[in-house]
Structure formats: C-alpha cells, structure tokens
A and B are shown apart, each in its own frame.
Chain A
Amino acid sequence: MKKRITSFVVVIALLLITIFLSATTGSVSMGLTEFIRALFGEANEDFVIIKDLRFPRIIIAIFAGAALSVAGALLQAVMRNPLADAGVIGISAGAGFMSMFIITFVPTLFFFTPLFAFIGGAIACFLVFSLSWKAGLEPMRLILVGIAISAVFTGLKEAFIMLCSYMSVTIDGSFTSTMTMKTWTEVEIMTVYGSIGLVLALLLVKWCNLLALDDKTVKSLGFPLMTARIVIAAVAVLLSAIATYVAGVISFVGLLVPHIARRLVGNDYKYVIPFSILAGALLILVADTLGRILIPPQEIPASTLMAIIGGPFLIFLLRRGDRKA
C-alpha cells in the first residue's frame, strides 16, 4: 500500500521535472523561475519559441508514451501474455502501413488517416490473434507470429517509401518515427483520440482483472468473455494506432512499462493502468529529450533508444518465463 503511494508520487514528480527539463534544455534554454513566470503570462520571447517548438513535441511524447503503455497493458490482459506489446506483435506496423497506404493512394482521405491507422492495427491484431490461437494462446507462439506479422507490414511500408521517393512524393515525417516538427494539429489529434482511449481503458479495469481468471471460471460467472476481449483489444488498437500515426512506431514501451507497473503497484488493473499512463509518459519523454540533447544538432529518435533498452528487456522476460514454466 505504502509502496504503491510512493511509486505514484515519485513517478508524478519525475514526470513534472522531466517536462520542465525537456522544455528548457536545448538551443534555447531558460531557468525555472523564468519558465514558471512565462508560463503564467509574463512576456518572454524565448518562451514563445519554446511553446511553439517544444510544447507540441512534449505533449505528443507524453500521450504517445501513455497510449502505448496502456495498449500494452490491455493486450497483456486480453492475451493473458506478459510479452504482448503493440510494437512487438505488429499492431503498430499494421497501423503505420495502413496510414501510409491511404496517404499514398487516396490522399483525399487524409483527414481520415487516424481511422485507417486503426483499421490497419485491427487487421494486424486480428491476424496475430487468430494465427497464434491453437486451443489457447501460448506466449511464445504469439510472439513469434507477432514478429512475423510485424515484419510483413514493416516490409510493405518500406516498399511504399521506396515507391514514393521514386514518384517524388513527400512523406510525412511521422512515419520515420521521430517526434521533430510536430504541429498543433497533430497535438490535437493525439490528445483527443488519446484521451478517449485512455478514459476507456480506465473504465475497463474491472474487465481486465476478470480476464486474469481461467476462461471457464469467467464464463461460469455469466461474464461476456468474448465481448470483453474484443472491446479491450479494440481500445488497445485505438491507442497504439493513434500513437503510431502521430509519433511513429515505437516498440517495447508497452512491454517495459506495464511490467514495471506490476512490480511497483501490484497486478490490480485499477492501479496498473493509471501508473502505466504516468510511467509511459515519463519514459518516452525522457527518451525523446535525451535523443534530442545527447548529440546536438543530430537527434536520436525515441524509438531507437527504446529499441536499445527494450530488446534486452524482452530477452530478459523470455528467459525468466522459461524458468517459470
């Protein structure tokens, strides 16, 4: 109980500190008092630059991190598999490919791209689910099928990028998974859809908890198991699709964050989801900020940093799973 409260306080504090540091560090920098004064309305030229250049980026990093972490936590509940992650099992790749496809061939539908990202993610999710189902979901098989699906969609997307550069069509920066040059329009898309997804996720905590029991037990309680699975998976796909659409494919966040959350606040989704929101936001914001300030003026994408941390972590989880079995 005490550990839970401490964990929440610490992660909120760290998040606030990181937001401040991220906003004030870089080619234009300022101190804490100056920053807070400007935030509350004092005229400041540097602050205008920070606001237009860094705020959209910070907000997107926060929401993308939160969305991907919660998507991971939800997928882990549905698939009863601690290794499920939207990036690893191809949902992000599906969403990325589909948005690319629409922008390339039906640019008039640009406005609906988030919807198509969702459809792409849903197709990938359905494929992984149905192809790895064999009298239950065996964790290892799910991951292998997921990686294969992810590879196919990533390959298709890359083929498109080649094709597009050949046709000299400009590609939106977001598909190369960086968070530079974010506009307020993208912020709007991310925050609106992201908030909807996150609120839905918070409403679904009880269902998520029930899914931890055996299928037959859940069914014997008169609980609509299949409906719950589909609804939870749909929210997970929404969250990961929107994050992918705005911030590009970032793998392993959904793996790393819920795992840490369970360690710190327990298995109850009432705490896992809120904690994942905060810790996911923190992680991606840290990764993005580090990527920005480590070797200026070059940038390391957050997804690259996440892959470097996340890959070994997946191996660690797999090895631990082996020992348990």
Chain B
Amino acid sequence: MIIDQISMSYDGKRKHLDDVSTELLKGKITTIIGPNGSGKSTLLSVISRNHMPKSGEVLLNGLNIAEFKAKDFAKQLAIVYQHNTSPDGLTVEKLVAFGRVPYQSFIKRPSEEDTQVIDWALESTNLLEKRETALTDLSGGERQRVWIAMALAQKTPILCLDEPTTYLDMYYQLELLDLVKRLNEEHGLTIVMVLHDMNQAIQYSDHIILMQQGKIIAEGEPTEVITTERVREVYNVEAKIYADDEAGIVVVPMKTATMS
C-alpha cells in the first residue's frame, strides 16, 4: 500500500495530515505513533477509507482506493476501532458473522464458506467456547478480540487497528498484541496499527511511523526511529533509552522537557 502526498483536514483550517507519503510494507507490522493530535488516527482513517483525503491518493495494488467498490475494498482491508458499540444481547458468533457482509448480497444467503471462515476467525482469536455468549457478558479484552474476529472474518490481507489496547488492563493489552503478532506470523496478515504506548510499539512492530502535527517525523525500524532527541522533540519528554535483549530498546520517560 502506497500513501502518496496525502493532505487532510476535518474543519478546512487545521491540517490534520500535511503532505504525508510513505509505504506500508506487505506482511509486516507497521505501527503509527505520536502524541495526541499528531494525525495518527486520521492517517489510519484515510487508509481505511473512512475519510477521504483533501488531496493525494492511497494506492492499493496499484489502484487508488477511492476507486474500489465498497465491498471489494472491504475484502482487502479490515479495521478494528478502539471503541465499539453493539446491541444488547448480540452473541459473539452473530457479531463475527457480520464480517461476512462483503461476501454476501441481498439475495445470497450465508454459504458453507462463510461458516468455515467464521469458525476459523473464532478459533484464531480463541473464542470458540464463547460463541454463544452475549457480547455484554464478556470482559473488555475478550470483547476487543471479538471485534478482531469480525475483522478476520472479512478475510482481508490487511488488518488495521486503531488503538486496540486503550481501554484494556496490562494483561489484556499484551494478550491482544500477542494475538496480533500471531496473526501476522501465521497468516501473513499485513498489520497497520496506532498505539499509544511507545514500548509496546517498539516490541511488537517491524516498522514504526512517528508523527507530529500531521507530518511524518521519522520512520523505519523501531531501534532507529526512537531516540532520546526525537522523544524530546515530539513528546516534550526527557527519556532514557536502554538496550534490551528481547524488545531491542526500552524507553523510560523521566520528566517533562519544558520543566528542565
């Protein structure tokens, strides 16, 4: 997926995305990070066609995503949002089944393949036993997994996640990111996500895009992108960065930079 000179503004005044160009690598985990209002979620929403850019284009397999039919695009890219509402009493299986909507039409009824894919999505997210459970009776972590399962049921090569861990406890945050990593490794899914936690981004991503005020400040491998200077410049925070065998590096924020 190629992002070519995207600019975007919600109100016509402030540039929420300012001439952003990059490429999202196939089969890799790319994480977009940056402070609040840096445009990271906006970028994700342009990629996922939830918002149209003011200028520039996003190319998928050489084709502008604006030209895809809605259903065809939904077979290429699925997205999980940080906050989702669902009707009371809806069961896990029924929600996941919605992921098959792009493959169904008004007349065409659910097929054998639909059932198989739904089973696979439930299995991959470890939800087979909960299929008859109502969403409202699940924990926050389980619920977020259900939304991922729904996205998986779309059977897309690309999966986007918008701050999927925000409302979760630490245990569920890691559980969820492990799931994302497994999906990437086992099924070759291209993952694009927005994360708040810099260390999680470093630990789980192949590629990091660091944004500030609608622009990409730096991108590349986590250990290259994250430096003390950049953390100070972008987040206004003094941080120490230590080498770590498993994660590569660990960022420890010390104090706000303006206070010093």
User: Residues of A with Cβ closer than 8 Å to B?
Assistant: 203, 209-210, 212-214, 216-217, 219-224, 266-268
Contact = CB atoms under 8 A, between A and B. Distances in A.
Interface in B134-181: 154
Given A213-B98, A216-B50, A222 B86 contact: no
A240 to B, nearest CB: 23
B72 A217 contact: no
A221 B154 contact: yes
A248 to B, nearest CB: 33
B90 A217 contact: no
Contact of A221 (B74, B84, B90): B74
Contacts of B78: 220
Given A216-B81, A221-B102, A221-B154, 13 more contacts: A209-B94, A214-B85, A216-B45, A216-B50, A219-B49, A220-B50, A220-B74, A220-B78, A222-B72, A223-B70, A223-B74, A267-B88, A267-B90
Given A214-B81, A216-B50, A216-B81, A221 B101 contact: yes
22 contacts: A210-B101, A212-B90, A213-B84, A213-B98, A214-B81, A214-B84, A217-B81, A219-B70, A220-B49, A220-B79, A221-B74, A221-B98, A221-B101, A221-B154, A222-B75, A222-B101, A223-B74, A267-B88, A267-B89, A268-B89, A268-B90, A268-B94
Nearest to B95: A213
Contact of B89 (A217, A224, A266): A266
Nearest to B76: A222
A84 B90 CA distance: 21
Nearest to A219: B50
Contacts of A222: 69-75, 101-102
Interface string B98-127: 110110001000000000000000000000
A128 to B, nearest CB: 23
Contacts of A268: 89-90, 94
Nearest to B51: A216
A268 B95 CA distance: 11
A212 B50 CA distance: 18
Q: What 4 A-B pairs are tightest by C-beta distance, nearest first?
A: A222-B74, A222-B71, A212-B87, A222-B70
Contacts of B102: 221-222
B42 interface: no
A203 B79 CA distance: 28
B205 interface: no
B86 A212 contact: yes
A212 to B, nearest CB: 4
B23 to A, nearest CB: 22
A216 B102 CA distance: 15
A224 B88 CA distance: 23
